[in-house]
């Protein structure tokens, strides 16, 4: 009886069947380079300097001479893509998640015609991936709003940007309809909820919410436009190729109550609304009651037209893509300043005494991954895709070229164990797993190179020095075995 049960179970879930999408994830602006020596236009991420450990990046007004912009070279994937993809293939990747830089296709964002050089670049990348049987998993907008749209139109504060985005999405869907099956609209769409933090507002929506009389209201109007853009893109994509699977992408940092006090339970539950606000709309096609009540309570006048409502209901997603790095713990008795945080925490966040942290203060919580897989699945019963998870650390490359990143292996192993439990014991439907930064890249929040996530080390430092030579870390061979054994050998 036990045997039959197991076989049946494995068939129904993806985890142990051959289709499970093991791979790795990146985003165009953090690794491609090829910014100033191609037809690419500037994105908002391209005008951000490198920060430093604990120091956020500076958002500059255009490219200013004398300042260092790490994204301009990234790790120069633009000129190394064949070599890098060969290494992904050697590790056994079944899929590779990256984004299409919006400004390679529409350098300013509001042109009539797309840029052929940019389109061709992704044709070449996708062909190279497909040559090895690696499925491209594509994010349309990963913090890569065209700078021109941000400056001239206020990004998604302006409804015209919805049309520009939908046009960009349509061009991509049509061009790559026989090469790409898995899509996501906006990376970490809920990260603009952090309206006190300019970086997320800026990169996700192209707007500095702080410039508006009521930053929070502005943020929700912007969020609404972004949601409409996402839904319209999903609808058009499915018309172009009904076999497309188009997902959303949520930054999932769950809130735990600090104590068993009912006040802490409620606080954590209320804060989880921030995490689910976007996915509720994208999965169900309408605003949840708590959101409408909140608009009313705060006196926000959000312009939501009947046509918008129709678009939202017609453009629900096929699956939930999400990132998971850490959990967060909240105490109703504690209040702190969060104006400069970039880690998705709340003003009530406190250190969790049961959880260790990375050098960057991110709580290492593998069980939290099982917890959020269950939370999403109970709420929507949609397939899920863990499209980011990983350990940012300062790695040391030895003289012989090796790099002993056992801490990364420990982190990933513990998370994969919990992911397997969620599938095999709880029955959640999981499509795949793509650890973040599978080759070292530029950190998004700090712009540093030394915050590394990769299985592959890239010789480049925070100031932009280095040969860009690639070498394997210990985690490379480890992950290769994980994939080859379909998660059995950890
Ligand atoms: C997510 C982003 C990624 C990535 C990752 C790690 O929020 O989607 O772009 O960078 O976080 O963050 P960081 O690079 O700051 O360590």
Catalytic residue flag (residue 378): no
Q: From the CA of 442, how far away is ligand 1's center (Å)?
A: 9
Q: Whose CA is nearest to atom 12 of ligand 1?
A: 444
Classify the complex by whether its ipTM is higher than 0.85, answering yes or no. yes
Residue 436 Cβ inside 6 Å of ligand 1? The answer reads yes
Q: Would you state the pLDDT for residue 336? A: 81
8 A C-beta contact, residue 459 and residue 469? yes
What's the token pair of residue 189?
A: 């769409």
Q: Would you state the pLDDT for residue 360? A: 84
Instruction: Say if residue 281's pLDDT is above 70.
Output: yes
Residue 187 Cβ inside 6 Å of ligand 1? The answer reads yes
Q: From the CA of 114, how far away is ligand 1's center (Å)?
A: 28
Residue 27 Cβ inside 6 Å of ligand 1? The answer reads yes
**SS3 (DSSP) at 270:** helix
CB under 8 Å to 41, separation ≥6 — which residues?
103, 104, 106, 107, 108, 109, 146, 147, 148
Residue 77 Cβ inside 6 Å of ligand 1? The answer reads no
pLDDT, average across residues 454-483: 97
Least confident range from 31-45, 159-173, 328-342, 455-469: namely 328-342
- 6 pLDDT band (50/70/90 cuts)? very low
Q: From the CA of 207, how far away is ligand 1's center (Å)?
A: 19
Most informative mutation of 55, 70, 391, 436 for ligand 1 (most atoms within 8 A of CB): 436
Residue 250 Cβ inside 6 Å of ligand 1? The answer reads no
Instruction: Write down the residue that tokens 């079944």 correspond to.
Output: 94
Would you list the domain boundaries of the chain?
Answer: 2-251+364-484
**SS3 (DSSP) at 329:** strand
Residue 451 Cβ inside 6 Å of ligand 1? The answer reads yes
Candidate list 128, 217, 388, 448, residue with the active-site label: 388
- 468 pLDDT band (50/70/90 cuts)? very high
pLDDT, average across residues 232-255: 98
pLDDT, average across residues 149-172: 98
Give the nearest ligand 1 atom to 392 CA.
Answer: 16
Q: In this structure, is the dihedral angle defined by the CA atoms of residues 269, 274, 280 and 285, taken in order, positive or negative?
A: positive
Residue 449 Cβ inside 6 Å of ligand 1? The answer reads no
Residues 2-251+364-484: name the CATH superfamily: Glycosidases (3.20.20.80)
Give the nearest ligand 1 atom to 342 CA.
Answer: 15
* Number of continuous H segments (helices) and E segments (strands) in the chain: 15, 13
């Amino acid at each position: 009886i036990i045997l039959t049960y197991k076989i049946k179970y494995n068939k129904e879930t993806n985890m142990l069947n051959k289709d499970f999408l093991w791979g790795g994830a990146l985003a165009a602006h953090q690794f491609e380079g090829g910014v100033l020596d191609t037809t690419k236009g500037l994105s908002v991420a391209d005008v951000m300097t490198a920060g430093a450990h604990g120091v956020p990046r500076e958002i500059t007004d255009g490219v200013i001479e004398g300042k260092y912009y790490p994204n301009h070279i990234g790790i120069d994937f633009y000129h190394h893509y064949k070599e890098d993809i060969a290494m992904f293939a050697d590790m056994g990747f079944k899929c590779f998640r990256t984004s299409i830089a919006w400004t390679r296709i529409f350098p300013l964002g509001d042109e009539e015609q797309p840029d052929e050089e940019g389109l061709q670049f992704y044709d070449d990348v996708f062909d190279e991936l497909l040559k090895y049987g690696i499925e491209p998993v594509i994010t349309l907008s990963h913090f890569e709003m065209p700078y021109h749209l941000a400056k001239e139109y206020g990004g998604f504060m302006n409804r015209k940007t919805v049309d520009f985005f939908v046009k960009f999405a349509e061009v991509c869907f049509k061009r790559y309809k026989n090469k790409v099956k898995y899509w996501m609209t906006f990376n970490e769409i809920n990260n603009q909820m952090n309206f006190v933090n300019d970086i997320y507002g800026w990169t996700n929506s192209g707007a500095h919410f702080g410039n508006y009389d009521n930053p929070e209201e502005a943020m929700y109007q912007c969020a609404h436009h972004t949601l409409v853009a996402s839904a319209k893109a999903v609808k058009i994509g499915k018309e172009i190729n009904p076999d497309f699977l188009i997902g959303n992408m949520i930054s999932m940092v769950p809130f735990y109550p600090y104590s068993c006090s009912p006040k802490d339970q409620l606080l954590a539950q209320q804060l989880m609304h921030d995490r689910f606000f976007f996915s509720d709309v994208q999965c169900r096609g309408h605003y949840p009651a708590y959101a409408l009540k909140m608009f009313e309570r705060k006196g926000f006048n959000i312009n939501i037209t009947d046509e918008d409502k129709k678009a939202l209901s017609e453009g629900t997603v096929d699956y939930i893509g999400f990132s998971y790095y850490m959990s967060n713990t909240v105490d109703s008795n504690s209040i702190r300043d969060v104006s400069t945080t970039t880690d998705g925490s709340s003003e009530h966040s406190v250190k969790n005494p049961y959880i260790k942290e990375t050098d960057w203060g991110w709580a290492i919580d593998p069980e939290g991954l099982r917890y959020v897989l269950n939370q999403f699945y109970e709420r929507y019963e949609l397939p899920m895709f863990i499209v980011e998870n990983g350990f940012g650390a300062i790695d040391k490359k030895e003289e012989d070229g090796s790099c002993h990143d056992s801490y990364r292996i420990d982190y990933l192993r513990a998370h994969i164990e919990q992911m397997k439990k969620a599938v095999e014991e709880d029955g959640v439907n999981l499509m795949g797993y793509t650890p973040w930064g599978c080759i070292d890249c530029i950190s998004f929040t700090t712009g540093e190179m030394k915050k590394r996530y990769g299985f592959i080390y890239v010789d480049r430092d925070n100031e932009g020095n280095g040969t860009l030579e690639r070498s394997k870390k210990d985690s490379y061979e480890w992950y290769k075995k994980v994939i080859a054994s379909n998660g059995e050998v950890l």
